[in-house]
Structure 1
Amino acid sequence: MKPHTPNPNKNTRRSQPQSRAPEPRRAAGAVTAHTSVGDRWHGWLGHHREMAGESLRRFFATPLASAMTALVIAIALALPAALQLGLVNFQRAVAGWDGQPQISVFLHKEARDSAVQSFADKLRADPAIAEVTYISPEAALAEFQQSSGLGDALAGLGANPLPAVLLLRPRDTSGEQLEFLAQRLRDSAMTDSVVLDMAWVQRLAQLTDLGRRLSAGLAVLLAMGVLLVVVNTIRLHIESRREEILVVKLVGATDAFVRRPFLYSGLCYGFFGGLLAWLLVALGVALLAGPVAGLSSSYGSAYSLSGPGISYLLGLTAGAALLGLIGAWLAVARHIKAIEPK
C-alpha cells in the first residue's frame, strides 16, 4: 500500500488568495478648492448688498442718536449751501442791470435841438464809442416821475428842470481809456457835466467775487467739520464692535471685509445729513419768499426767490454722502489695523 503524497500544485492553488481590484490612491494633505471669477464676483456683490442693508438697519435701530448725528451734518452743510443759493439769487436779481460801463453826458439846457442832433451824430461816428442813446428832456422827466413816485409834485412845476442826456457805451472798457474819453467829452462846449458810471459796476463785481470766495471758504471749513463728525461717530461704532471684529479676524476675515459695513454706515450718515440740509435750505427759502416778493413788488418788479431744485438736492446729497464715505474711510484706516487677535 502506497503512502499518500499530497499534490503540490493543488495545495498551491488553494493557498493563493483571490486577486482584488486595486484601490484608488488618495492625495495626501489638504485639498485646495478653486472658485471661479463669476462666483467671486457674485459673492462680492452679495456681501455689499448685505452690508448696505445691515447699515440701514443699524441706522434706524437707534433713531435718536442717528438723527442727532445727521442733524449736525445737515446744519454744517446748510450754512454754505444757503450762502451759495443766496449768491445765485443775488446774481439773478442784478442780471437785468447793465453790467457795462456807461458814460452819461448831460447837455446844456440852452442847446438847440439841431446842435444836439449834430453832436450826437458826431459821437456816433467816433470809433471809440460803440453806441449813443439820446434821451430828450421830456422823456427824462417822464421816466423820473415813474421811478420816483413824485408825479404830482413835478406836475406843479412850470418848466422841465431836466436837460437832454446822451448815454454813451464805449468800445474800450479799460480804466485809462474811459477816463480819457470822459475828459474829452467834458472839454466839449455842448456838455454841462459828464458822469462815468463805472464805480458801481466795479463794486458789484467785487461784491460778487467776495461772496463767492466767502462761500467757498465756509464750505471748506464746514466740510472739514463734517469729516470730523463722521470720523468720531465711526470710531465709536468700531469700539462698540471690537469683540465682533476680533472674532471675524480670527476666522480669516480681511481688513476689506471688516471695513465694509463701517463705510456703508458713513455713507448713510452723509446721505441723510445732505437730505436734511436740503430740507433746511428749502424751509428757509419758503419762509423768506413772501417778504422778498412783497419788497420787490413795491419797486415794481416781479422778482421772486429761487429755491433749491432737484439738481441742488442731488448735488447736496451726493456731496454729503461722499464726505461721509471719506470720513468713514479715515476712521476705519486708523482704528481697524489696531484691532488684531493675539
Structure 2
Amino acid sequence: MTRLKVYIARHLQVFFSTLGELVRAPFSNMMTIAVIGIALALPTGLHVLLQNVQQVSAQWDGAAQISLFLHQQTTDKQVEQLAGLIRKRQDVSTVTSITREAALEEFRQNSGFGEALDALEDNPFPPVIVVYPTSEADNIESVQAMLKMLGERPEVEHAQLDMQWLKRLYTIMDIGRRGIWVLATLLSISVLLVVGNTIRLAIESRREEIEIIKLIGGTNAFIRRPFLYTGFWYGLTGGVISWLLITTSLWLLGGPVNRLATLYDSHYALAGLDLAASLGLLGASILLGLGGSWLAVTRHLHAIEPQ
C-alpha cells in the first residue's frame, strides 16, 4: 500500500509540475497548442457540418414522390383503377391522379402559353399518377424499389423519381465523408509530428540533466514520465482549443443559417458537438499528444547516455 501511495504521489507531482512548466512559458507553448487545435478543428468541423447536411436531407426525404406517366391512350377509368390498386399498398401514403385534361389546364394556367395551346389539335399531355410513400418507406432504397415495381406495369410509359437529386446528394456526402477521414488521418499525423518535434526539442534542451539522472541510477521510465505528461497536456489543451474553435464557428454561422431558413418558411438551427462527440474529440487529442511524445521519447532517450 505504501509503494502504491508513493507511486501515485510521484505521478501527481509530475502531473502538476509539467502543467506548471507550460504555464511558465505560455507564448511558445501556446503556438504548439494552437497548431494542434486548428489541425483537429478542421476535420471535426467538417464532420459536424456534414452531419447537419444529413439532418437537413433527412427532412427533405419527406418530399420524395414518384410520378407515373401513363400511355396516351389510357382512359380516365383505367387511370382511376390503377390509382386504386396503388392506394392499397402499405408503403404508399397518398396517391393523386391527374387526367390529360387536368394536366393541360394546369400547364395552361402556369405557363402563360394559353393562346398557343389553343392552336393544338390534340392534347399532348399524358395522364399522370403521383405516388407519395409512407414515412416508414420514405428512404432512397425503398423508394427505388417502389419506382422499379410501378414502372414495370403495362399502363406506365415512364416512371420518374422526382427526388433523384437526393440520391446524388447522398453520393456526394459519402465522398465528403471519406474525404474527411483522409484529411483527419493526414492532420493526425501532422499533430504527431508537431508534438514529437516539440518533445524532441525539450529532450535536447535537457540533455545534460538526463545524463546526470542516468548517472545516479534514474531509469528510462522515470525520465520518460514528465515528457509523456507534457504530451498529455499538449493534447488536452489542443483538444479544448479545437472545441472552442468549432463551437465559435457554429455560433457565427448560426445566425445566417437561421435567416436563410426563415426565407424558406422554415426553422433550422445548426447542431454542434454533443457530449459524446466532445469527449471523443478530447480523447483523440490526448491520445495524439501522448502518441507523439511517446514516439519522440522512445527514439531520442536511448540515444542519450552519460559520457
Query: Is residue 94–residue 132 contact of structure 2 (8 Å, CA) maintained in 1?
Result: yes
CA apart distance, 1:330: 0.5
Q: 1:167 is aligned with what amino acid?
A: V
Sequence identity (%):
41
> Given residue 68 of structure 2, which amino acid in structure 1 is its aligned partner?
V
1:267 corresponds to: 232
Question: CA separation in 1, counterparts of 2:145 and 2:243?
Answer: 47
Q: Secondary structure at the match of 1:96?
A: helix
Aligned position for 2:179 = 214
The Cα of 1:307 is off from its aligned counterpart by 2.0
1:103-158 CA-to-partner distances (Å, cap 9, x unmatched) read: 312468998765543221233467xx8426222669xx9xxx9xxxxxx9799x89
Q: Which residue, out of 95, 104, 108, partners 1:134?
A: 95
Residues 296 and 175 of structure 1: is their aligned pair in 2 closer, same or farther, counting only changes over 3 Å? closer
Evaluate the alpha carbon distance shift between residue 118 and residue 174 of structure 1 in structure 2; reply closer, same or farther with a 3 A threshold: closer
Residues in 1 aligned to 2:147 and 2:73: alpha-carbon distance in whole angstroms: 27
- Counterpart mapping for 1:323-342 below 5 A: 323-342=288-307
Residues 1:167 and 2:146 aligned together: no
**Distance change (3 Å), C-alpha of 1:112 and 1:298:** farther
What is the match of residue 250 of structure 2? Answer: 285
8 Å CA contact 2:87, 2:95 repeated in 1: no
Q: Could you tell me whether the CA contact under 8 Å between 1:108 and 1:164 is conserved in 2?
A: no
Correspondences of 1:72-111 after superposition (within 5 Å): 72-98=35-61, 103-106=66-69
Picking from 251, 261, 279, the partner of 1:296 is: 261
Mapped partners of 2:306, 2:221: distance in 1: 16
Cα separation, partners in 2 of 1:132 and 1:90, compared to 1, 3 Å: closer
1:251 aligns with 2:216: yes
Matched position secondary structure for 1:297:
helix
> Contact (CA 8 Å) 2:37, 2:238: kept in 1 or not?
yes
1:51 partnered with 2:14: yes
SS state at 1:303 partner: coil
1:241 maps to 206
Instruction: Indicate the SS of the match to 1:295.
Output: helix
1:163-202 per-position Cα deviation (integer Å, ceiling 9, x unaligned): 76331659985979854641x34x41xx675323463243
Evaluate the alpha carbon distance shift between residue 120 and residue 53 of structure 1 in structure 2; reply closer, same or farther with a 3 A threshold: same
Instruction: Read off the aligned partner of 1:255 and give its amino acid letter.
Output: N
Partners of 1:205 and 1:287 in 2: how far apart?
Answer: 26
Asked if 1:230 corresponds to 2:191, the answer is no
What root-mean-square deviation, in Å, do the aligned CA atoms of Structure 1 and Structure 2 show? 3.6
**1:335–1:55 distance in 2 versus 1, CA, 3 Å:** same
Q: Name the CA shift for 1:286/1:251 in 2 (closer, same or farther; >3 Å).
A: same
User: Taking structure 1 as the reference length, what is the TM-score of the superposition?
Assistant: 0.73
Task: Give the distance between the partners of 2:5 and 2:93, measured in 1 at CA.
Answer: 73
Bigger helix fraction: 2
TM-score (norm 2): 0.80
How many residues are aligned here? 287
**How far 1:297 moved relative to its partner?**
1.1
1:33-86 Cα deviation digits (max 9, x unpaired): xxxxx2221111111001001100000000100111100111111100111001
Distance across 1 between alignment mates of 2:85 and 2:273: 51
Letter paired with 1:317:
L
Task: Kindly provide the amino acid, as one letter, of the partner of residue 327 in structure 1.
Answer: G
SS at match of 2:304: coil
Q: Find the aligned partners of 2:275 and 2:145 in 1 and give their Cα distance.
A: 46
Indicate the residue corresponding to 1:13 in structure 2: none
Tell whether 2:23 aligns with 1:63: no
- Aligned in 2, Cα 1:132/1:294: closer, same or farther, shift over 3 Å? closer
In 2, the alpha carbon distance for the partners of 1:165 and 1:303 equals 32
Equivalent in the alignment of 1:203: 168
Change (3 A) 1:281 1:162: farther
| Distance in 1, Cα, partners of 2:261 & 2:72 | 35
Larger Rg: 1
Q: Give ranges in structure 1 of 5+ residues lacking alignment.
A: 1-37, 146-151
Could you tell me which amino acid in structure 1 is paired with residue 273 of structure 2? P
